[in-house]
Chains A and B, each alone.
Chain A
Amino acid sequence: MTSYPEYVPYPFQAEHHVATHPVCTNGLEDHSHRVVIAGGGPVGFATALGLAKQGVASVVLEADDSVCFGSRAICVSRRSLEILHRLGVGAGFDAVGLPWTGGRSFYKGQEVLRFEMPQDDNQQFAPMVNMAQYSIEKTLLDGVQAYHHLIEVRWQTAVTGITRNEDGVRLAVKTPQGAYQLHTDWLVAADGGRSTIREGMGLRLQGTSYEGRYVIVDILMKSPRPAERLAYFDPPCNPGSTVLVHKQPGDVWRIDYQLRDGEDPEQAILPHQVMPRVQSLLDMMGETAAWNPIWVGLYKANALTLERYRHGRVLFAGDAAHLVPIFGVRGFNSGIDDADNLSWKLGQVVQGRAAPALLETYSSERVAATHENLSYGTKSTEFMAPPSFAFDLMRRAVLSLAVKHPELRSLINPRQSAPIAYGDSPLNGPDEWGTHGPRPGTVLPECPLTYVSTHGDHAVFLSDQAGHGFKAFVFTADGVLPQAWCQVGVDRAADGAMIAHAALAVQAVSLGAPHPDAVDVLWDNTVQLPHLLGAQLGAVLLIRPDGHVMARWRDANVKSRAIVSAWINQLLAANQPTAIGVTP
């Protein structure tokens, strides 16, 4: 009998958490909650952190007793890193993640594509870092535990039933210490691809499931080879197959290979099938170090989504709302975008600063984002796991022509995750700047800046600026705000509405050298903002708490702080948020 390298554990020790049982009367928890989040994965934890940043408490229910096991999400995008830094857990990602900027594709052993993701000197973060999901979850959990006064994680607590009414949601849960029920005003369903909440509400994901299967193998191997995305089409080591290789932190290598038509998936994950294929791949790559398998699993691509992500007081996020193919790394990253979008809106609603209708924009914006993610993910999948003879034949045509015909190489590009714009959002306000720079709905480009304060000058980035409520950038020559933006205490809520003020932060941006008396000024010391943003003297740019551009006004003397504040409050208080009809 042939012997294969022995299985070894991941270089990661998951902590196991005990179950808790709250004080109940007649099986119902005495305390009622404002927000309960079903699912202690990346999306659930990120949502809890986003709420806690606004001072809103939540309870996270997780069926397991630890962070996840096995090979799941591995690529964290630049946009996700911006969000994670804002949530206060970025340092953990910087410390562990392996940054990379591009990749190479091969056909029959010959290089046919070399791609680079957008990267320049302005960037604070790499376009992508690799990090295993167990590390991602652990890093987020560390952040969650630092907010223990606002976030309670209940481990080994599985949702078994859901009853909805006008005031909220009642959940039935079971724990090793017994079952109980609890009430929450709002429920975030972030309980993954096999969402119990989704099932319990009788909702179905719609879209396409692909037949082609991939085997996923994590191995432990020391190699100085840099982190990049490697794709081998029809490689000499495994003719007819497609193989993807990603380096991960801790000497873990993730290998994905496509099963050939007719191969039995159950057989394909047995050692006598897996180990020789891994060995022949490593031989082909010229990797000679000893290696050990850690984990083997199967993957089948899905492109599915719910029609709407808000169902009354239940909000779906991450894989519970949509399943995006792995090719293009949009699963985890779109889930983090969901959490970022949802948490500020739910925070505003829970704190009485916005009407519940604001949550409709969570659904419409993120459903649109999913459709964009699915259109790219579907194209990637059609290339990586051809769903018919036609896609297979055409792929062979592209790959065999790509060396001599570079104009065809874009068809091999993996269409990696990129920030999504909410171009049609009802929250988008006036745009008086013309077509230059980031239009309402888009994410700000990155730019290094200097923050001038009484404590001295600090190097900062434009992407650091989000996450502090609504923020208006007022573009000045020397950091001195016009009078219309200096007034304090003039914010007024919409007529008669019991809506507290949404905080509007004002940030003076100095396009030239700041005046010696100006403090708390963002100084464009590299003189890039006029070009990057299209920013002109005296103009105003408003961003949302998630960093998406909301409105651009030409004249700060006409659109005063009071007017912009009132406009935001009116928009948030509306029963159907729409920028049309609200006077900005």
Chain B
Amino acid sequence: MNPTELDNAYSHLCHTMTRLGETDSQLFLARLALLAMNRFEDAEDAKAWIDAAAANVSS
């Protein structure tokens, strides 16, 4: 994705979550992660992205 496409996808994601509301957004994000994970190359790749997303998450 180029920056404009990324930007548009980002906005669509934010608007979708706004529409679903805060409670349902948690499940929505989990489902999105699951669908995205299925597009990773292999288990190694999936693990690397999971670890990257988890890094410093609570700092």
- Which residue of the partner chain B has the closest CB to A415? B7
Contact B14 A400, beta carbon cutoff 8 Å: no
Say how far B27's CB is from chain A's closest CB, in angstroms. Answer: 14
Check B6–A411 contact: CB distance below 8 A: yes
Q: Are A394 and B6 in contact (CB under 8 A)?
A: no
Residues on the A chain within 8 Å of B55, using CB? 404
Q: At the interface, yes or no: A311 with Cβ under 8 Å from chain B?
A: no
A394 & B10 in contact (Cβ 8 Å cutoff): yes
- Complex: how many Å from CA A382 to CA B12? 12
A325 to chain B, nearest CB (A): 15
Q: Which of A405-460 contact B (CB under 8 A)?
A: 405, 407-408, 410-411, 413
**C-alpha gap A391/B22 in the complex (Å):** 11
Majority secondary structure of chain B interface residues (helix, strand, loop or mixed): helix
**In the bound complex, CA of A405 to CA of B53 (Å):** 10
| Shortest distance from the beta carbon of B15 to any chain A beta carbon, whole Å | 8
A391 with B7: CB separation less than 8 A: no
* B23-59 interface bits toward A, Cβ cutoff 8 Å, 1 = contact, 0 = none: 0010000000000000000000000000011011101
Query: Are the C-beta atoms of A394 and B22 separated by less than 8 Å?
Result: no
**Contact between B7 and A389 (Cβ–Cβ < 8 Å)?**
no
Q: B6 touches which one: A108, A401, A404, A410 (CB < 8 A)? A: A410
Is A389 in contact with B11, judged by CB distance below 8 angstroms?
Answer: no
Partner of A390, one of B7, B17, B52: B17
Main secondary structure of the interface of A (DSSP, over half): helix
B18 and A388 form a contact (CB under 8 A)? yes
What B residues does A391 contact at CB under 8 A? 14, 18
Identity of the chain A residue whose Cβ is nearest the Cβ of B16 in the assembled complex:
A390
Q: Which residues of B lie under 8 Å from residue A413 when comparing CB positions?
A: 3
| Contacting residues of chain A (76-134) with chain B, CB-CB under 8 angstroms | 108
B15 cross-chain contacts in A, Cβ below 8 A? 390
Chain B residue contacts of A388, Cβ below 8 A: 14, 17-18
The answer to whether A389 and B6 have CB atoms under 8 Å apart is no
Q: Tell me which residues across on chain A come within 8 A of B59, comparing CB atoms.
A: 108, 400
Asked whether B18 lies within 8 Å of A405 as measured between CB atoms, the reply is no
Q: List 27 A-B contacts (CB under 8 A).
A: A382-B11, A388-B14, A388-B17, A388-B18, A389-B25, A390-B13, A390-B15, A390-B17, A390-B18, A390-B22, A390-B25, A391-B14, A391-B18, A393-B25, A394-B14, A394-B17, A398-B10, A400-B56, A400-B59, A401-B52, A401-B53, A404-B52, A408-B6, A410-B7, A411-B6, A411-B7, A413-B3
Could you list which residues of chain A lie within 8 angstroms of chain B, going by C-beta atoms? 108, 379, 382, 387-391, 393-394, 398, 400-401, 404-405, 407-408, 410-411, 413
Other A-B pairs, 10, CB within 8 Å; known A108-B59, A390-B15, A400-B59:
A389-B25, A390-B13, A390-B14, A391-B14, A393-B17, A401-B53, A405-B52, A408-B6, A411-B6, A411-B10
Closest 5 CB pairs of A and B: A390-B17, A410-B3, A388-B18, A390-B18, A390-B14
